[in-house]
Amino acid sequence: MLLLRRGVSLKVFRKGADEACLREKAIMRPDDANVAGNVHGGTILKMIEEAGAIISTRHCNSQNGERCVAALARVERTDFLSPMCIGEVAHVSAEITYTSKHSVEVQVNVMSENILTGTKKLTNKATLWYVPLSLKNVDKVLEVPPVVYSRQEQEEEGRKRYEAQKLERMETKWRNGDIVQPVPNPEPNTVSYSQSSLIHLVGPSDCTLHGFVHGGVTMKLMDEVAGIVAARHCKTNIVTASVDAINFHDKIRKGCVITISGRMTFTSNKSMEIEVLVDADPVVDNSQKRYRAASAFFTYVSLSQEGKSLPVPQLVPETEDEKKRFEEGKGRYLQMKAKRQGQGEPQP
């Protein structure tokens, strides 16, 4: 487990003693990386979420009142701009950029530093949304102390982002109702050939003070499964290129058995889209049935031993559902490609 050294706040939005900015550092170790020495995307996502949870929980407890812990509700699309390697230092900075009555928007940047040369580069930018849950009653969402904005436009822009993510969360909450079923003797390059699942018993070390799973733990497991799917499909070194918005539909309690399932949905010439579903089974609570806890789409790229991008074997969808998911993935790919071209960014 990474030990993050707490940094010094450099920027404050609120008037008063509470901080709206957080900086942390962590050195990347061999167990944080794949066989090629690239740090796992899930490791970075976990660091991002830890920073977001600290700053949002600190902010939500900055005024006198009922104590709470900030729970992760959503992570916006996150691009992995450049790889991070073993021995480099990750600099994680988090800043509160908007608050609504019951939620906090946190923006997190990750820089990697080569401590031999002093070179730094931006590896990730992420936006996360948290809600404060009462320590006395986990189903009670508390009010968030407001932030003071330096410009009125900041509040207006934040409100637009809040409304957009709220609408999308409602649209996607029940979109992924199906489950990933194993298929005997699947053919190479099919969805069934690379699909993978991981079963994990939720223990105390995975959980918050509430006894519910940290969002960062869930994201790390999701990335791990997505990586297995990608590696099985192309049989090369693979790295996370981006993560579409991750929606946390429901909390996962300590003692649950969670099943993280991944399946390939689309391939372009040099990228793979993988859908990851998280289902929770409260085995010690007969009153609650298995439920969908989280879902997201991960994009991976295939790399040579020299770190060069390689062509990806084309996915062969077989069933009508697989063909439908392929076309939906193609639509997301083309939409993001057009957006990147408009911003002058490189294509995965």
E strand intervals along 7-77: 21-27, 68-75
The answer to whether residues 46 and 32 touch, using CB atoms and an 8 Å cutoff, is no
3-state secondary structure of 329: helix
- Within 8 A by CB and 6+ apart from 137, the residues are none
Euclidean distance between the first and the last CA atom of the chain, given in angstroms as a whole number? 30
- Find residue 79's DSSP bridge partners: 125, 242
Angle (CA) 347-222-207 rounded to 5° is: 135
Known catalytic membership, residue 286? no
Torsion angle defined by CA atoms of residues 290, 293, 298 and 303, in that order, rounded to the nearest 10 degrees: -70
Cα radius of gyration (the chain): 20
Distance from C-alpha of 15 to C-alpha of 240, rounded to nearest angstrom:
39
- Find residue 98's DSSP bridge partners: 105
Known catalytic membership, residue 34? yes
The answer to whether residues 304 and 258 touch, using CB atoms and an 8 Å cutoff, is no
β 89-99/104-113 pair status: antiparallel
Q: Which of 18, 223, 244, 279 is catalytic?
A: 223
Active site residues: 34, 223
